[in-house]
């Protein structure tokens, strides 16, 4: 044997095969009729498909038959005990007695309890007498057969009552039955719910202003709280009240009644029968409209009571924020649809995502950009520079008009449709605005070094602040609603806010405004299944009333086919009116003003908006802006002054400031009467240190990724 053969290990052959247990009995082979049933020739129960199953079923049936008398006697005994306990509780008026004891009015109700107890004893005696008489008559007529029939029926009823159900550990249930919404039938239960939620005291009551009545698919009621109790507290603790009423919080709408007939302690409540946002989507009514007037509020959606909510756009602006795939782009397109159907409206459409969501608007837009490449960001900048210059031109033009044409230095419907004046309603719509605001390209604006994203933010701030009076409408949508992405100076001048579902209450506050979660409006509590549902904080009057702070709205549904149809109709209207311009007819934009020529605008904007607030979280940014305008060199600012000026809730404000590393201290201040007193507040030096730390953290961490930009 050679060396190679000696070093080679002999491996036995590996055979493929299947393990067969020859020792197991082949029941199917022995009984072909049963195997045929198993194969599906006859539809028979599974236990009849083998002799083993048949034998097991027979044994179980015999066991049940043998044990059934014992089980029947046990169930009858349990039923007798349960029935006796129930009768004893009923005849002693236990429910009435416990209710009186819980309300601490047992002494006052004692006479009524005694009278009801005697009445129930009399009813018991009458039932027993009638039963005995019926048994006696049965014995006389039918003999003892009637007695046995009566006893048999009674024992069966007791056995059914006392049967032990699967999973029940004993005769007494571990968990009580489900609570039901009974407050609509009994106002006393509504009072108990307010007490359970700790919204009123144990000895306090509600005053019924309007009785419970049906409104839509729910019940509505208006009540007055006790003295010193505030409706704002009820709104803030809406979740606790919903728990006390045994409904989901999305079914409970609580508003303060304001204006005439209202006051700080009057509450209007509406409770839906079911989830009001789980209904099939409603198609956008603009789809069947031939045209629309931009001066009319745009159909936007419906609230929980199924009231239509229209969104005013002229003389204001709109911010839409949400996490991805919650309907942010759909909501922005709803606002844009009404403007597209007005042939006298000019559109600047910028899509930072670069998809096809806004491609249909390319046929009607005066300026259109889709993408996030450097050339796209520069094109957005040039378009905004063009709009800023146009805004300045409009103000200069309106200053020369007669008072009967332009009475208040604001655009009017007549001015916007007058072709000779050249001042149509102009909307700048930017989806995924964070793409452009986060661009870090260095630019020089009037000798000041800044980034292209910060420069675009300054331009948008100017347009949102100055533009509405000149007919400029700003609509921004973002999936990254944080203070770093959208500077406070920009958010502060955006009138209408719409927050779809977000991940955290802080993100909700960034969209809707500071302390909105403390007022009962937090879009992070919306369910993931509620697509297109968000909290709207309108800047103007809606169907819900002009005094409503915010409301939950389910937006209309407008799929891509309807969106393209609206854009096609908008182009036809503009072709007939002769108002197609710019990108829609293939015209390249004119050379925009350079950044150096815009230095005056940006400088003025910076002076008006105050210090750089980028990277500073709320409420620290709001405090810094307030100190910039009102500090006047002071070293100490009282907490009460900041809370009142910024319209914040004191407890949440102190907690947020503490989390940002700025703790309050006590110091002496001089009052209007000249006397000094010690108050709590913040040192301006501590606030500046907290601001510096926040900026350092922002520079180190950078922007947080908010996910992709896909929409539903």
CATH architecture observed for domain 610-701: Orthogonal Bundle (1.10)
Closest CA to 240 of 176, 193, 186, 180: 193
187/27: higher pLDDT: 187
For residues 555-584, give the mean pLDDT. 92
Q: Residue 654, preceding bond cis, omega within 30 degrees?
A: no
Domain ranges in the chain are 55-162, 187-272, 285-585, 610-701
Band of pLDDT at residue 384, cut at 50, 70 and 90 = very high
Band of pLDDT at residue 17, cut at 50, 70 and 90 = very low
Inter-CA distances, 275 with 25, 153, 250, 327, Å: 59, 45, 7, 19
Which range, 95-104, 133-142, 614-623, is most confident?
133-142
For residues 188-208, give the mean pLDDT. 86
Q: Which of 160-174, 440-454, 616-630, 667-681 has the lowest mean pLDDT?
A: 160-174
Closest CA to 513 of 477, 549, 484: 549
607/320: higher pLDDT: 320
Q: Could you confirm whether domain 187-272 is CATH 3.30.980?
A: yes
Query: pLDDT tens for residues 342-365?
Result: 999 999 999 998 888 899 999 999
3: left (phi over 0), alpha (psi -120 to 50) or beta: alpha
pLDDT of residue 599: 44
Round to whole Å and give the CA distance between 613 and 634. Answer: 20
For residues 542-555, give the mean pLDDT. 75
E strand or H helix at 655: helix 650-659
For residues 119-123, give the mean pLDDT. 87
pLDDT of residue 14: 44
Round to whole Å and give the CA distance between 646 and 655. Answer: 15
Inter-CA distances, 162 with 73, 91, 630, Å: 10, 21, 76
Tokens of 564: 């393209």
Tokens of 708: 């992709």
pLDDT of residue 261: 80
Q: What is the DSSP letter of 283?
A: B
Tokens of 204: 């306090």
Mean pLDDT of the chain: 78
pLDDT of residue 564: 94
109/422: higher pLDDT: 422
Q: Which residues contact 386 (CB under 8 A, 6 or more apart)?
A: 367, 589, 590, 592, 593
pLDDT of residue 627: 79
Compute the chain's Rg from CA coordinates: 37
CATH architecture observed for domain 285-585: 3-Layer(aba) Sandwich (3.40)
Using an 8 Å Cβ cutoff, are 422 and 363 in contact? no
Q: Given CA atoms 395, 540, 501, 505 in this order, what sign does their dihedral have? A: positive
């Amino acid at each position: 044997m050679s060396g190679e053969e000696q070093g080679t290990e002999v491996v036995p052959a590996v055979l493929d095969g299947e393990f067969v247990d020859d020792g197991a009995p082949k029941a199917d082979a022995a009984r072909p009729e049963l195997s045929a049933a198993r194969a599906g020739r006859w539809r028979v129960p599974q236990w009849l498909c083998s002799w083993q199953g048949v034998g097991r079923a027979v044994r179980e049936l015999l066991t049940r038959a043998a044990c059934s008398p014992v089980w029947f006697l046990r169930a009858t005994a349990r039923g007798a005990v349960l029935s006796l306990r129930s009768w004893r509780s009923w005849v002693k008026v236990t429910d009435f007695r416990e209710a009186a004891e819980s309300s601490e009015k047992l002494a006052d109700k004692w006479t009524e309890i005694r009278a009801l107890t005697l009445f129930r004893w009399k009813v018991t005696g009458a039932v027993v007498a009638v039963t005995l008489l019926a048994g006696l008559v049965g014995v006389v007529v039918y003999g003892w057969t009637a007695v046995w029939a009566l006893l048999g029926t009674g024992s069966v009823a007791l056995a059914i009552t006392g049967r032990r159900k699967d999973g029940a550990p004993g005769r007494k249930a571990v968990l009580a039955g489900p609570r039901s919404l009974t407050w609509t039938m009994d106002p006393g239960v509504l009072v108990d719910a307010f007490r359970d939620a700790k919204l009123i005291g144990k000895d306090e009551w509600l005053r019924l202003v309007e009785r419970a009545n049906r409104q839509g698919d729910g019940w509505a009621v208006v009540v007055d709280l006790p003295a010193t109790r505030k409706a704002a507290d009820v709104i803030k603790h809406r979740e606790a009240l919903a728990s006390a009423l045994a409904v989901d919080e999305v079914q409970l709408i609580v508003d303060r009644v304001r204006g005439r007939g209202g006051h700080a302690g009057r509450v209007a409540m509406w409770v839906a029968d079911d989830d009001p946002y789980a209904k099939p989507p409603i198609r956008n009514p603009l789809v069947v409209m031939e045209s629309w007037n931009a001066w009319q509020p745009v159909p936007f959606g419906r609230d929980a009571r199924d009231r239509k909510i229209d969104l005013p756009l002229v003389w204001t602006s709109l911010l839409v924020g949400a996490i991805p795939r919650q309907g942010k782009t759909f909501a922005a397109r709803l606002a844009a649809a009404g403007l597209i159907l007005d042939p006298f409206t000019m559109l600047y459409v910028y899509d930072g995502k670069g998809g096809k969501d806004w491609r249909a608007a390319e046929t009607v837009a005066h300026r259109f950009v889709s993408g996030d490449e450097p050339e796209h960001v520069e094109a957005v900048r040039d378009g905004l520079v063009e709009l800023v210059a146009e805004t300045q031109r409009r103000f200069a033009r309106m200053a020369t008009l007669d008072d009967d044409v332009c009475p208040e230095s604001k655009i009017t419907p007549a001015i916007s449709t007058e072709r000779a004046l050249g001042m149509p309603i102009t909307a700048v719509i930017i989806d995924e605005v964070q793409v452009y605001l986060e661009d870090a390209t260095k630019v020089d604006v009037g000798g000041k070094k800044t980034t292209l994203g910060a420069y675009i933010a300054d331009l948008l701030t100017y347009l949102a602040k100055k533009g509405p009076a000149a007919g400029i409408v700003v609509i921004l949508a973002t999936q990254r609603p944080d203070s770093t992405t959208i500077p406070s100076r920009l958010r502060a001048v955006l009138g209408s806010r719409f927050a779809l579902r977000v991940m955290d209450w802080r993100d909700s506050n960034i969209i809707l405004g500071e302390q909105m979660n403390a007022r009962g409006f937090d879009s992070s509590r919306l369910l993931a299944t509620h697509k297109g549902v968000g909290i709207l904080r309108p800047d103007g009057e809606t169907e819900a009333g002009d005094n409503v702070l915010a409301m939950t709205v389910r937006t209309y549904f407008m799929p891509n086919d309807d969106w393209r149809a609206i854009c096609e109709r908008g182009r036809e209207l503009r072709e007939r009116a002769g108002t197609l311009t710019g990108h829609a007819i293939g015209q390249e934009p004119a050379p925009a003003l350079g950044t150096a020529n815009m230095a005056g605008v940006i400088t003025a904007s910076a002076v008006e908006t105050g210090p750089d607030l980028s990277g500073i979280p709320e409420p620290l940014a709001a405090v810094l802006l307030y100190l910039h305008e009102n500090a006047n060199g002071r070293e100490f600012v009282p907490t009460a002054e900041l809370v009142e000026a910024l319209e914040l809730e004191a407890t949440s404000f102190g907690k947020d400031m503490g989390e940002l590393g700025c703790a309050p201290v006590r110091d002496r201040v001089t009052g209007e009467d000249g006397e000094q007193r010690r108050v709590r507040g913040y040192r301006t030096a501590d606030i500046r240190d907290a601001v510096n730390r926040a900026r350092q953290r922002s520079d180190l961490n950078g922007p947080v990724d908010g996910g992709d930009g896909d929409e539903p």
